Amino acid sequence: MATAPSLKDLCSGPATFMGVPSGTALEGAAAAILGIPFDMGAHAFRVGARQGPASIREQSRLIRHWNPEFADFPVAAKLGLVDAGDVRVVPGRHPEAFAAIESAVGAIVDAGAVPITLGADGSISLPVIRAVARRHRGLAVIHIDSHTDSAVPPAPGEHNTGTQFHYAAVEELVDTTASWHIGVRGTTYRPGGYAHTEELGYRIVTMNRLMVRGIPTVMREVRESLGDDRPVYLCFDMDAFDPSCAPGVCAPSWGGLSAREGIDLLRRLHGMNIVAVDVNTVSPPHDVNGMAAFLAANVVFESMMVVAARRFPDEVRRFELVPG
């Protein structure tokens, strides 16, 4: 007599990024997804990034596991990618949330895996950097964003969605002279924003300068300045894209990257030592048919390919890119 299937056989598990295995056992994993359902809850009118991880996971179901241009293997499986779920945080309560985020990211790095975090508003970059910098000396930042997020805090010790890279500099977590803010553009609340960022030592490539000089030229300069071995924290804020292709973000600004340009930019990091990836600021309540979340899922996939290119250099083909 045939054995009846168990409930486990009949039911699916939790929704994960691209359907990869869920769990916190990281043995053999080269990378791990970590959701951070947090926002400061203080935006003037766009609160919703706390819902970003769930929306990115939902839209990731549209991504197939193979890219024949890149490699003859499914990149998620090759990396042993697991989805560790979400950090337990309460939006708006940043001291406790930052501590939990730092601990969770640190556990992934200690296991020898690259943390790939799904956010959340930009404030969470600080605890992510704290965790990664304490394990990778000489950490540099490639921050792709329409804002530098390195503003002077309103008061000492105060945090918001625009101060994280200020604290990363003053806490000496990153080598600012080797770090880049790329795609910066748009309006600001107060004067002197770029000046303070440059005083901290960061390099700024505005969106206008990126378009004048060209993505190939700028990214070649970034690569030459960092080399292939320096550890790099890659932070991709989704408002780097134009609102026409990523409408559901916390702080949209017109004149941003097209989807094609953003993917091209990411592929130029092929072979670099990316030790952490952070894709953030998806705000589902302001999205249109999941466009920003779907594009964010693709940014994660492209980032996974960059990580795989570093881990498996003999098995990965470079994309043919627009020359510069």
Write the DSSP assignment of 33-94 as a string of letters.
EEEE----S--SS---GGGHHHHHHHHGGG--S--TTT-SS-HHHHTT-EEEEE----TT-H
Structure tokens at 233: 């924290």
Mean pLDDT, residues 271-282 = 96
With 70 as the cut, is the pLDDT of residue 44 above it?
no
SS3 266: helix
Residue 101 has a pLDDT of 97
Q: Are 18 and 60 in contact (CB under 8 A)?
A: yes
Residues 155-192 have pLDDT tens digits of: 888 898 889 999 999 999 999 999 999 999 998 887 87
Residues 126-146 have pLDDT tens digits of: 999 999 999 999 999 999 999
Q: Are 290 and 129 in contact (CB under 8 A)?
A: no
Q: Give the model's confidence band at 324: pLDDT under 50 very low, under 70 low, under 90 confident, else very high.
A: low
State how far the alpha carbon of 32 is from the alpha carbons of 23, 45, 207, 246, in Å: 10, 32, 31, 24
Q: Give the model's confidence band at 1: pLDDT under 50 very low, under 70 low, under 90 confident, else very high.
A: low
Q: Which helix (H) or strand (E) holds 259?
A: helix 259-267
Q: Give the model's confidence band at 70: pLDDT under 50 very low, under 70 low, under 90 confident, else very high.
A: confident
Our measurement of the distance from residue 299's CA atom to the centroid of its chain's CA atoms, rounded to an integer in Å, reads 8
**CA atoms of 130 and 106, how far apart (whole Å):** 9
What share of the chain in percent tops pLDDT 70?
98
Residues 250-268 have pLDDT tens digits of: 999 999 999 999 999 999 9
CATH 3.30.470.10 fits 18-314, yes or no: no
SS3 237: strand
**CA atoms of 142 and 100, how far apart (whole Å):** 24
With 80 as the cut, is the pLDDT of residue 43 above it?
no
Residues 203-254 have pLDDT tens digits of: 999 999 999 999 999 999 999 999 999 999 999 999 999 999 999 999 999 9
SS3 251: coil
**CA atoms of 28 and 122, how far apart (whole Å):** 30
**CA atoms of 202 and 170, how far apart (whole Å):** 12
For the chain, how long is the longest CA-to-CA vector? 78
Cα 43-41-298 angle, rounded to 5 deg: 80
Q: Which residue has the higher pLDDT, 156 or 43?
A: 156
What single-letter amino acid sits at 283? Answer: S
Could you tell me the residue ranges of all domains in the chain?
18-314
Nearest to 161 by CA among 92, 104, 102: 92
